[in-house]
Amino acid sequence: MEFVHEVTAYLENKPGRLAKICSAMAHEKLDIKALSVMDKSERSVFRFVTDNLESTRKVLTSLGVEFTSAEVLAVTMDNQPGALARILERLAEEHINVEYAYASSATPGKSVGIFQTSNSKRALQVLNEPSTNGAARAGGRRPLHTR
Protein backbone atom coordinates (compact mmCIF):
# COMPACT_ATOMS: atom_id res chain seq x y z
CA MET A 1 0.00 0.00 0.00
CA GLU A 2 1.24 3.40 -0.91
CA PHE A 3 0.19 6.88 -1.84
CA VAL A 4 0.26 7.62 -5.57
CA HIS A 5 -0.58 10.67 -7.64
CA GLU A 6 -3.84 10.56 -9.52
CA VAL A 7 -4.70 12.91 -12.35
CA THR A 8 -8.29 13.98 -12.97
CA ALA A 9 -8.83 15.38 -16.45
CA TYR A 10 -12.06 17.06 -17.52
CA LEU A 11 -12.84 16.36 -21.16
CA GLU A 12 -15.40 17.37 -23.72
CA ASN A 13 -17.74 14.44 -24.10
CA LYS A 14 -17.20 13.76 -27.80
CA PRO A 15 -15.62 11.03 -29.95
CA GLY A 16 -11.83 10.89 -30.08
CA ARG A 17 -11.04 13.16 -27.13
CA LEU A 18 -9.95 10.32 -24.83
CA ALA A 19 -8.09 8.62 -27.69
CA LYS A 20 -6.12 11.80 -28.38
CA ILE A 21 -4.96 12.05 -24.77
CA CYS A 22 -4.03 8.37 -24.54
CA SER A 23 -2.15 8.55 -27.87
CA ALA A 24 -0.18 11.60 -26.73
CA MET A 25 0.71 9.84 -23.49
CA ALA A 26 1.77 6.70 -25.36
CA HIS A 27 3.93 8.84 -27.65
CA GLU A 28 5.74 10.13 -24.54
CA LYS A 29 6.04 6.53 -23.21
CA LEU A 30 3.81 7.28 -20.20
CA ASP A 31 2.17 4.22 -18.67
CA ILE A 32 -1.37 4.42 -17.31
CA LYS A 33 -1.47 2.11 -14.26
CA ALA A 34 -5.22 2.39 -13.52
CA LEU A 35 -8.08 4.43 -14.96
CA SER A 36 -11.71 5.36 -14.64
CA VAL A 37 -13.84 7.30 -17.11
CA MET A 38 -17.22 8.69 -16.08
CA ASP A 39 -19.81 10.67 -17.97
CA LYS A 40 -20.96 13.87 -16.29
CA SER A 41 -23.39 15.87 -18.45
CA GLU A 42 -21.44 17.74 -21.12
CA ARG A 43 -18.05 16.62 -19.83
CA SER A 44 -16.34 13.36 -19.00
CA VAL A 45 -14.18 12.85 -15.96
CA PHE A 46 -11.03 10.83 -16.72
CA ARG A 47 -9.20 9.73 -13.56
CA PHE A 48 -5.95 7.84 -13.86
CA VAL A 49 -2.67 6.96 -12.20
CA THR A 50 0.44 7.24 -14.32
CA ASP A 51 4.11 6.43 -13.85
CA ASN A 52 5.34 10.03 -14.25
CA LEU A 53 3.22 12.89 -12.96
CA GLU A 54 5.37 15.74 -14.26
CA SER A 55 5.51 14.41 -17.83
CA THR A 56 1.78 13.73 -17.70
CA ARG A 57 1.15 17.34 -16.67
CA LYS A 58 3.19 18.55 -19.65
CA VAL A 59 1.23 16.38 -22.10
CA LEU A 60 -2.15 17.50 -20.76
CA THR A 61 -1.11 21.16 -20.72
CA SER A 62 0.13 20.94 -24.32
CA LEU A 63 -3.28 19.53 -25.33
CA GLY A 64 -5.16 22.28 -23.49
CA VAL A 65 -6.81 19.81 -21.10
CA GLU A 66 -8.13 21.07 -17.77
CA PHE A 67 -6.89 18.78 -14.97
CA THR A 68 -6.05 18.47 -11.29
CA SER A 69 -3.90 16.03 -9.35
CA ALA A 70 -4.24 14.52 -5.90
CA GLU A 71 -2.76 11.83 -3.70
CA VAL A 72 -4.77 8.63 -3.48
CA LEU A 73 -4.16 5.26 -1.88
CA ALA A 74 -3.06 2.36 -4.10
CA VAL A 75 -3.71 -1.04 -2.54
CA THR A 76 -2.47 -4.29 -4.05
CA MET A 77 -5.00 -7.03 -3.39
CA ASP A 78 -5.65 -10.62 -4.37
CA ASN A 79 -7.79 -10.94 -7.47
CA GLN A 80 -10.34 -13.24 -5.85
CA PRO A 81 -13.87 -13.04 -4.43
CA GLY A 82 -14.05 -11.14 -1.14
CA ALA A 83 -10.70 -9.32 -1.36
CA LEU A 84 -12.30 -5.94 -1.99
CA ALA A 85 -15.00 -6.58 0.62
CA ARG A 86 -12.34 -7.25 3.30
CA ILE A 87 -10.59 -3.96 2.55
CA LEU A 88 -13.84 -2.02 2.60
CA GLU A 89 -14.93 -3.68 5.86
CA ARG A 90 -11.67 -2.73 7.56
CA LEU A 91 -12.13 0.89 6.48
CA ALA A 92 -15.78 0.90 7.59
CA GLU A 93 -14.81 -0.44 11.03
CA GLU A 94 -12.71 2.69 11.49
CA HIS A 95 -15.45 4.97 10.08
CA ILE A 96 -13.36 5.84 7.03
CA ASN A 97 -15.56 6.70 4.07
CA VAL A 98 -14.56 5.65 0.56
CA GLU A 99 -15.39 8.66 -1.61
CA TYR A 100 -14.58 6.81 -4.82
CA ALA A 101 -12.55 3.83 -5.97
CA TYR A 102 -11.55 1.96 -9.08
CA ALA A 103 -9.26 -0.96 -9.83
CA SER A 104 -6.92 -2.36 -12.43
CA SER A 105 -5.26 -5.71 -12.99
CA ALA A 106 -1.64 -5.78 -11.98
CA THR A 107 0.17 -9.08 -12.08
CA PRO A 108 -1.45 -12.52 -12.45
CA GLY A 109 -3.68 -13.13 -9.44
CA LYS A 110 -3.35 -9.53 -8.19
CA SER A 111 -5.14 -6.26 -8.79
CA VAL A 112 -4.57 -2.69 -7.68
CA GLY A 113 -7.36 -0.73 -6.05
CA ILE A 114 -7.23 3.07 -6.12
CA PHE A 115 -9.07 4.66 -3.19
CA GLN A 116 -9.93 8.25 -2.31
CA THR A 117 -11.06 8.24 1.31
CA SER A 118 -12.20 10.68 3.95
CA ASN A 119 -8.94 10.08 5.89
CA SER A 120 -6.18 8.72 3.66
CA LYS A 121 -3.43 8.66 6.30
CA ARG A 122 -5.59 6.67 8.72
CA ALA A 123 -6.72 4.37 5.87
CA LEU A 124 -3.08 3.57 5.12
CA GLN A 125 -2.45 2.77 8.81
CA VAL A 126 -5.55 0.58 9.07
CA LEU A 127 -4.77 -1.38 5.92
CA ASN A 128 -1.15 -1.89 6.99
CA GLU A 129 -2.26 -3.43 10.32
CA PRO A 130 -2.44 -7.21 10.44
CA SER A 131 -5.95 -8.45 9.68
CA THR A 132 -8.04 -9.56 12.63
CA ASN A 133 -10.48 -11.49 10.42
CA GLY A 134 -13.51 -9.53 11.59
CA ALA A 135 -12.72 -9.66 15.32
CA ALA A 136 -12.77 -6.46 17.34
CA ARG A 137 -9.59 -4.42 17.07
CA ALA A 138 -7.23 -3.70 19.94
CA GLY A 139 -8.56 -0.13 19.92
CA GLY A 140 -11.90 -1.47 21.17
CA ARG A 141 -13.99 -0.58 18.13
CA ARG A 142 -16.56 -3.11 17.02
CA PRO A 143 -17.46 -3.62 13.37
CA LEU A 144 -20.36 -1.42 12.23
CA HIS A 145 -22.64 -4.37 11.51
CA THR A 146 -22.53 -5.46 15.19
CA ARG A 147 -23.52 -2.10 16.68
Q: Which CATH architecture has domain 72-130?
A: 2-Layer Sandwich (3.30)
The pTM assigned to this predicted structure is 0.82
Residues of the chain with CATH 3.30.2130.10: 2-69, 72-130
Compute how many other C-beta atoms are within 10 angstroms of the C-beta atom of residue 40.
Answer: 10
Please name the fold of domain 2-69.
VC0802-like (3.30.2130)
Would you give per-residue pLDDT tens digits along the chain (147 residues)?
A: 899 999 999 998 889 999 999 999 999 999 999 999 998 777 899 999 999 999 999 999 999 999 999 999 999 999 899 999 999 999 999 999 999 999 998 678 899 999 999 999 999 999 998 876 544 444 445 555 555
Provide the 3-class DSSP secondary structure of residue 109: coil
In the chain, DSSP assigns E strands to 2-12, 32-40, 43-50, 66-78, 98-105, 110-117
- At residue 137, the pLDDT reads 45
